[in-house]
Amino acid sequence: MILAVLLVLAQLAPVSLDDITVYDRLEWRRDITECDRLASHPDDPERVTDGVAQGDVDLEAARAACEAAVEADPDNPRLNYQLARVNGYAGRHEESQAFRDAALRAGYPQSLFVVGYIRLTGWDGRGQDPCYGGELIRRSAQAGRFAGLVGFPHYALSGAFEACPPDQPVIDRAQMLDFLDRAEADASGFYQEALVIQLRARMAE
């Protein structure tokens, strides 16, 4: 019984920030799988297909395809993220965890943002950890994820990290301005451009 409890706690423990590497796409296979066709996120910068919006994901088919893909290529962070995505949408958060963690340890940019958001908001029901989640979102911004580039300054300016210890997350004004510069260069359409303008105005206050 005690061993079982310890195993559950180990599964729920967050991945150490020191164990998260810098993602290198050249290390991983990028051939298109059925998992990619059914479960890739349309905003994932490392996707290899167009992606599928949350409401259009066929959860049962996507889960089967991604389980097969991960079995064939178990360390691939893209495939692990996509299996975690499908399980998460189905409410299978405990089953998602190992796959989320695998993608996170590889520094997969989409996983950095998504897990950061989950921990900041407590979306999976495990409670909020804005300090840990904020650092993951900051690292997603460093990796070029647009949602992180605008999300980190937004959360920092909104006071989400006021109770956090120093350097978790790292809050640096110059870095946040750089994030907004990169977001402006990547912005697509009126709404994204307007968001960057609004965040710049808040930074100037």
Cα separation, 117 vs 70, whole angstroms: 24
Residue 130: asked if its preceding bond is cis (omega within 30°), the reply is no
Q: Are 141 and 126 in contact (CB under 8 A)?
A: no
Segments in the chain below pLDDT 50 = 1-10
CATH 1.25.40.10 domain residues, the chain: 21-107
- From residue 85, give the alpha-carbon distance in Å to each of 21, 88, 188, 195: 21, 5, 24, 26
Instruction: Give the pLDDT of residue 110.
Output: 96
- Sign for the CA dihedral angle at 82, 84, 85, 91 comes to positive
Q: Are 139 and 174 in contact (CB under 8 A)?
A: no
Instruction: Round to the nearest angstrom and report the end-to-end CA distance of the chain.
Output: 55
Instruction: Give the pLDDT of residue 33.
Output: 98
Token pair in block for residue 134: 């904020």
Instruction: Give the pLDDT of residue 12.
Output: 63
Q: Are 147 and 118 in contact (CB under 8 A)?
A: no
CATH for the 21-107 domain, from 1.25.40.10, 3.30.430.20, 3.30.70.100, 3.40.50.20: 1.25.40.10
Residue with tokens 């298109």: 32
